[in-house]
Amino acid sequence: MADDAHQGVKRKTGEPYILHPLEVALIVARDIGLGPQSIAAALLHDVIEDSDITSKQLADLFGDDIAQMVIGLTKIQGVFDNQATSMQSENFKKLLMSISDDVRVIIIKMADRLHNMRTLEGMPFHKQLKIASETLYIFAPLAHRMGLYNIKQEFEDLGLKYTEPDVYEELEEKLDHSRAHDQLYLKRFTNNIDSLLRSEHLKFQIKRRNKGVFSIRRKMLNQHIGFDEVYDKFAIRIIIESTVKKEKIDCWQAYSLITSVFRPNPRRLRDWITTPKANGYESLHITVMGPEGQWIEVQIRSKRMDDAAEQGYAAHWRYKEDASDSPALDIWVNSIRQAIEGQSESAIEFVDQFKLQLFTEEIFVFTPRGQMLTLPKHASPIDMAFDIHSDIGMHVLGAKVNGQLVPLSHKLTSGDQVFIITADKQHPSEEWLEWVKTPKAQSKIKTYLKDLDKKSSDRGQRMVERMAAKSKFELNQSNSQKMVNYFSVKNQQEVFLRFGSGEYSSHDFRGFIQDQTGGFYKNLLRRFKPKINLPILPEDAKRIVFGPDEVVLAHQMAPCCSPISGDNIFGYIIRDGIVVHRVDCKQAIELQGQFADRILVAKWATGNKKKFNATLTFSGGDRLGLIHEVTKLLSNELNVDIRSFHIDAAEGVFHGSIALRVLDQTHLSSLAQRIRAIQGVTEVTRAIKQPIYQSSSL
């Protein structure tokens, strides 16, 4: 049926379209391990949208379960493929809500996204950037939370490949160069481990694991280390053949044998056997000093644990198809439903809260009676109170942690025993939102605070409705969202609240009405295009052009990434103008993934003569005369304008930075190479500033 439905249709890559659902079905079966119904739904996931086949025909031929999955996939596909959809967070919200109906729907959608990422080279650059940003923003964290680690790693690596291709290619090349040596080393190490475990008659198999390019880069950035200092690029995994009753004992026996020969790093012990992760992941991770003084990561788990780790909750999802029970799946789905219920109407806020829950680290705390609770890292006593019961959370006055009285803002740590103190007259306040981490606590507090503002909100709604009627402006869903975007607030209720409280007036509403005239692009030109009666800009000021007509618009350079000529860039529309970011900016993933309606195509115009500010950092071995050589090279030989120069030296090592005025990226790269050639300089990199504002405030 799928073949007939897609007959004669081709993908952007030129291949017959039927290859796409076939590949999605293979991922569902082979990589995730779902059963026949899910495979059938994967094969049929595009037939309703792309042909005359109806959901009733599917139900008659294949049954209600398969038909409902295809219907769910069609709904999700529609919102993601609709380029006119103004807010991608609305799409993410609908995607997450589908978990409550049938978890298999979202898993097949993830398989669909994985194959699209594998074939992304056939798409134009701006669509590659959008799809890859979406993948990094929501699909990778979701795969992590579901325990689909292989898929998560591929999402991340492919996302990096298309959002920062230069970084990806550089790290991939370094990995290729080190792989041959590391594989030989791993082989010698695993031979030692093999002999050691066989001497105690353990049954096992050993696998090798490669760390993803994205994970390596994240570690380099987080720990401020170079590629050669990442010691767990490759690891070995020991899978113990054991019974459920003996698997923990056997895993710890293997740990004891290995650490009796190879010295372990105590700071790198991760015991997820005693206390599994929230997504069910069970494994014992240790880092030991191998031969030749090299650290190596060893993962120890049973065969059952390995199956669950490879397939995540998919190991349980077959229950819908073979009628067996799955308490672990029920617990997880219920936690998803709880996180969704009562969430903010704002799609952006909803996704941010949910994403925080997906990717956060966990701690384990105890009640006075010894009950263990799982909370996100840095959770407060307020979070724990709401986790116990909503009524307790609404009236929490304080807490005793390990017998000591602490403020409500106190950050809990694993192992804390917490006694919650309540009072009937105590109620949530605005500052509580700064201290809580769990979606449940955030949702309950915000609901309470919103109820307090209900009178002002109702008054503001009546004001807006009167002004809208007078202006003949229909307050439908689309126009309401435009109003939310214009006033840069979270949702429509906040618009009403600000009008009702007097913060906004009829003058502000008239400004909004005027802003809506002429359509998006014409309005953009009206707001940001230089006026004719102004002096004509010199040629070198027309350095960036925007939109399909490549027009000059008023803009500013993002201070977080300081674009220079030659960088790949995009425009991000804020209320007061356009901010130009590099596509590899630290904020680019979030902006591209969450605010697609504000993204504007931008590129450098030809004939650019303007200079740009840029900063180079460099380091190496300190020696007499080094500073003089660097400044002489830049000022005398290369005639470069140096804006500032700073250097620190200690114990024979120096670190320095130079702020320069350069023509473009090529000019900057040439200067970096010349500095690197100076004796004693070992590394030169372009410095990127930290963001000075949050994207949510734009």
CATH architecture entry for 612-686: 2-Layer Sandwich (3.30)
Query: What mean pLDDT do residues 660-680 have?
Result: 80
Q: What DSSP string describes 354-365?
A: HHHHHH--EEEE
Q: At what angle do helices 125-134 and 149-163 cross, to 10 degrees?
A: 150
Longest dimension (CA), the chain: 88
Query: How far is residue 649's CA from residue 584's CA, in Å, rounded to a whole number?
Result: 31
Percent of the chain with pLDDT over 70: 81
Between 102 and 586, the more confident residue is: 586
At the topology level, CATH places domain 2-165 in Hypothetical protein af1432 (1.10.3210)
Q: What DSSP string describes 381-412?
A: HHHHHHHH-HHHHHTEEEEEETTEEE-TTPPP
Q: Tell me the residue type at 412.
A: L
Give phi and psi for 686, each to the nearest 5: -85, 130
Query: What mean pLDDT do residues 269-273 have?
Result: 90
Domains of the chain by residue range:
2-165, 178-311, 360-452, 454-517, 523-609, 612-686
Query: Which CATH superfamily groups domain 360-452?
Result: Beta-grasp domain (3.10.20.30)
pLDDT of residue 85 exceeding 50, the answer is no
Which option is the CATH number for 178-311: 3.40.190.10, 2.40.37.10, 3.30.460.10, 3.20.20.70? 3.30.460.10
Q: What DSSP string describes 498-548?
A: HHHTTSS-HHHHHHHHHHTTTHHHHHHHHHHSPPTTSPPPPGGG--EEETT
Confidence of residue 293 (pLDDT cuts 50, 70, 90): confident
Query: What mean pLDDT do residues 615-643 have?
Result: 78
pLDDT of residue 323: 36
Do domains 2-165 and 612-686 share one topology? The answer is no
pLDDT tens-digit profile of 476-527?
888 888 888 888 888 888 888 888 878 888 888 877 877 776 555 666 666 6
**Residues 239, 205 contacting (CB under 8 angstroms):** yes
Q: How far apart are the first and last CA of the chain?
A: 48
Residues β-bridged to residue 654: 620, 649
Query: What mean pLDDT do residues 35-60 have?
Result: 90
pTM above threshold 0.95: no
pLDDT of residue 205: 93
